[in-house]
């Protein structure tokens, strides 16, 4: 058992707050968090060494994984409990709104779409990170997919192909290449990455992911996962001819029979392109 996992287990046993169910859930979540921190590159943490950078890294990871709002809130609650028990309650925001978390619902109530601002992008000094962000915007990729993107494997004639080992849940998928801007971006990626991924030769994936997170924060780019939301909303308008509900378009219940069929087809297509197995997940990105 890793040091942090052991220390958090001892912390839970010494502080039995709440019901047995609450204690068990908290212990399970903290064990998961310890494992995730280790995978994020924080391999020698102690329970008392929790810092804002660790919170930020976890929040970024969970957004990248598209976990449910309820799960997100439960994990933040466990983090706050941990921080409070080691005298560091002030390192985590008390309000979940600080982390851009919505209400517990599969249906989006407010658009989380984010456009890649050119001024902010110019403040990203690492060219590998800049291209990863542009891939996220142009193809709706997750952070990990955009960092591990290898043009030699991924770029095909009319689509990109994502290897299963890059994706959430190990689900390989394809995303269409639809315009000249995307093709030019892929040429830029090919030029920089050559035969590898969007990771410089002197770094490994974890190091580049940490570099990405630091560059994004410095540039003031909030919630880069919102680039996927913007991609979904653009694709919806391309496929249907009208804006999605979260982008100001009509609600699904107001559509005609033919429009509902087009709406359903668009949502299924977008869900596949984003790497989700269920059409209803599209409501997080598009609304209903």
The CA-atom distances, in angstroms, between 91 and each of 121, 126, 206 are 28, 28, 23
Q: What are the tens digits of pLDDT across the range 251-270?
A: 999 999 999 999 999 999 99
Closest Cα to residue 259, out of 276, 243, 275, 283?
Answer: 243
SS3 203: coil
pLDDT given for residue 131 in this prediction: 98
Is 0.75 surpassed by the pTM of this model?
no
Strand intervals (E) in the chain? 159-162, 173-176
pLDDT given for residue 277 in this prediction: 79
pLDDT given for residue 169 in this prediction: 75
Inform me whether the pLDDT recorded for 64 exceeds 50: yes
pLDDT given for residue 105 in this prediction: 47
Considering the chain, what is the average pLDDT of its residues? 92
Closest Cα to residue 227, out of 144, 109, 137, 287?
Answer: 137
pLDDT category of residue 69 using cuts at 50, 70 and 90:
confident
The CA-atom distances, in angstroms, between 273 and each of 158, 229, 232 are 14, 12, 9
Return the residue matching tokens 């269409």. 176
Select 124-219's CATH number: 3.40.50, 3.90.1690, 3.90.15, 2.40.128.
3.90.15
Q: Assess contact for 85 and 11: CB atoms under 8 A.
A: yes
Domain ranges of the chain: 3-99, 124-219, 228-286
Query: Across-strand partners of 174?
Result: 161
Which tokens in the block code for residue 168?
A: 């959430």
DSSP 8-state secondary structure symbol assigned to residue 100: T
Separation CA 234–CA 229 (nearest Å): 9
Closest Cα to residue 194, out of 152, 154, 163?
Answer: 152
Q: Which residues contact 270 (CB under 8 A, 6 or more apart)?
A: 232, 235, 236, 239, 282, 285, 286
* Vertex 17 angle, CA 83 and 90, to 5°: 20
């Amino acid at each position: 058992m890793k040091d942090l996992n052991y220390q958090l287990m001892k912390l839970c046993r010494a502080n039995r707050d709440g019901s047995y169910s609450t204690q068990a859930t908290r212990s399970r979540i903290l064990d998961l968090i310890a494992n995730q921190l280790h995978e994020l590159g924080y391999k020698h943490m102690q329970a008392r060494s929790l810092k804002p950078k660790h919170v930020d890294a976890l929040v970024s990871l969970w957004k990248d994984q598209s976990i449910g709002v309820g799960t997100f809130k439960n994990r933040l609650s466990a983090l706050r409990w941990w921080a409070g028990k080691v005298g560091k309650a002030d390192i985590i925001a008390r309000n979940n709104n600080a982390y851009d978390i919505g209400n517990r619902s599969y249906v989006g109530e407010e658009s989380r779409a984010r456009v890649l601002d050119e001024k902010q992008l110019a403040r990203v000094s690492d060219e590998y990170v800049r291209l990863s962000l542009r891939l996220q915007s142009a193809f709706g990729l997750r952070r990990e997919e955009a960092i591990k993107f290898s043009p030699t494997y991924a770029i095909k004639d009319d689509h990109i192909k994502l290897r299963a080992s890059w994706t959430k849940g190990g689900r390989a998928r394809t995303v269409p290449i639809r315009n000249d801007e995307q093709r030019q971006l892929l040429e830029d990626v090919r030029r920089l990455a050559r035969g590898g991924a969007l990771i410089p030769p002197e770094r490994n994936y974890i190091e580049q992911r940490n570099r990405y997170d630091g560059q994004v924060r410095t540039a003031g780019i909030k919630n880069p996962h919102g680039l996927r939301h913007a991609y979904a909303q653009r694709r919806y308008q391309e496929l249907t001819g009208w804006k999605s509900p979260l982008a100001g378009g009509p609600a699904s219940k107001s559509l005609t029979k033919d429009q509902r069929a087009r709406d359903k087809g668009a949502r299924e297509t977008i869900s596949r392109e984003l790497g989700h197995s269920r059409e209803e997940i599209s409501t997080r990105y598009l609304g209903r």
